[in-house]
């Protein structure tokens, strides 16, 4: 038997749906206007910048960015054409490859970061009190942990 959402739960659910749809759209628009990068571009550049030698095996990058391997491959192809990343073959596994941050990719990330952080602050961090933002982070981590534990 289905346990329907209460009116308060329905209101909270719909608020979450709206925020989780609108926030990435607005952050992406701001990022694109300021730097020409998309939000997925930016996420990939950040992940590569934080990795040893600024490179990550494509399968690991897909996991870290929560993208399918196919979608990530297309995204990296586009970024490679723009000179932001390059691909390198895996010496120990001929089927695998690495995505590598290029100098142009690093420079693009460094140039885009200040405006992107300001956008995140404007549209999320500063809208909430520090306590609310901390609680939001804790709640999202709890939901994420549950979702990551599910079979894919």
49-77 per-position pLDDT tens digit = 999 999 999 999 999 999 999 999 999 99
* pTM of the model as a whole: 0.90
Using CB atoms within 10 Å of the CB of residue 151, give its burial: 0 to 12 exposed, 13 to 18 middle, 19+ buried.
exposed
Distances (CA, A) of 62 to 40, 102, 115: 11, 18, 25
Dist CA 10 CA 45 (whole Å)? 37
Q: What's the CATH code, domain 35-149?
A: 1.10.10.10
Please return the burial class of 62, using the count of CB atoms within 10 Å of its CB with bins 0-12, 13-18 and 19+.
Answer: buried
The confidence band for 13, taking pLDDT boundaries of 50, 70 and 90, is very high
* pLDDT computed for residue 95 by the predictor: 73
Which H or E run includes 25? Answer: helix 7-35
Query: What pLDDT does 138 receive?
Result: 98
């Amino acid at each position: 038997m289905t346990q329907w959402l209460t009116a308060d739960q329905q209101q909270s659910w719909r608020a979450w749906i709206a925020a989780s749809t609108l926030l990435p759209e607005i952050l992406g628009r701001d990022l694109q206007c300021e730097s020409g990068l998309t939000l997925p571009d930016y996420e990939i550049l950040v992940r590569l910048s934080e990795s040893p030698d600024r490179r990550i095996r494509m399968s690991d990058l897909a996991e870290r960015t929560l993208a399918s391997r196919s979608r990530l491959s297309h995204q990296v192809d586009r970024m490679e054409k723009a000179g932001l990343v390059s691909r390198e073959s895996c010496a120990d596994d001929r089927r695998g490859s690495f995505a590598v941050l290029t100098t142009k990719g690093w420079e693009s990330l460094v140039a885009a970061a200040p405006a992107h952080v300001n956008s995140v602050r404007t549209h999320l961090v500063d809208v909430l009190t520090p306590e609310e933002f901390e609680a939001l982070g804790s709640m999202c981590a709890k939901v994420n942990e549950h979702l990551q534990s599910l079979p894919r």
